[in-house]
Amino acid sequence: MDKLSEIMQWKRREIAERIRPVAPSELEACRANSNQGSFIDALKAPDGLAVIAEIKRRSPSAGQIKELGASIEQAARYFSAGADCLSILTDEKYFGGTLTDLESVTQEFVREGNGIPCLRKDFMVHPIQVLEAANAGAGAILIIVRALEDDEMKALREAADLAGLDALYEIHSEPELERAVASDARIIGVNNRDLAVFKTDLAFSERLIPQFPKDVVAISESGIWTGDDARRARAAGAKSILVGEALMKAESTSELIHDFHTA
């Protein structure tokens, strides 16, 4: 069994006891009560590359990345450094995150009017997770195309639309791109890391992003460490980059984000 299959098998077991029907009215209430800024608009705003800065304690490929007390401290670094959006890992078993990380960050940087949009980065399989994301203050959810059936992607997207959340479709191949486009994805990210074996290569963005429809916001994810890496992503057509490990380990968060913005 490859690593993504292992993670998805665990995730389905983990959320099984939380699964219940989610009424459209519950999701619509989240939209009505949200102070969240638009995730997709934040990605479109900069003249240069938009930066999605990720809060990630550990990963199956890197092991422990950084010991964090409260995620709010790392979010504050990103916010002051000018990140355009945040990505917050909420998977505990493999990445060391929790939904509380998302809630604490949005309480400080969204609900108090600072307005930096946040992505709930998790292995989404059911609308109940979308409701949780919306209630925690997220502005977007992740849809990993490889990990889901078409009906599951549809259910997640419909729930996100009702809740007023954007959906980032993550792909790693041409067939996955075709499925994302068929689902009317507005934001598509190329994960340069093969989640089956956790190897990374920016050539995936260089190959796949030029095939995106022109109206799709393109994101290059993973394997971006330097301004030169960011320039490769931008040259391929990326409007934004999602960076976790490099920013978590950076001696100067502000300098690295500046390098990314001006790539």
pLDDT at res. 69: 56
Per residue in 173-229, pLDDT (tens digit) is: 999 999 999 999 999 999 998 767 677 899 999 999 999 999 999 999 999 999 999
Euclidean distance between CA atoms 201 and 124, whole angstroms: 24
What ranges do the domains of the chain cover?
3-15+37-261
Q: What is the CATH number of domain 3-15+37-261?
A: 3.20.20.70
> What SS3 class is residue 193?
strand
Query: Could you give the dihedral angle defined by the CA atoms of residues 183, 189, 195 and 200, in that order, rounded to the nearest 10 degrees?
Result: 150
Greater model confidence, 109 or 205: 205
Average pLDDT on 38-63 reads 87
Helical packing angle, 253-261 and 71-81, nearest 10°: 50
pLDDT above 70: percentage of residues in the chain: 93
Euclidean distance between CA atoms 97 and 71, whole angstroms: 9
Decide: 86 and 117 in contact? Cβ < 8 Å: yes
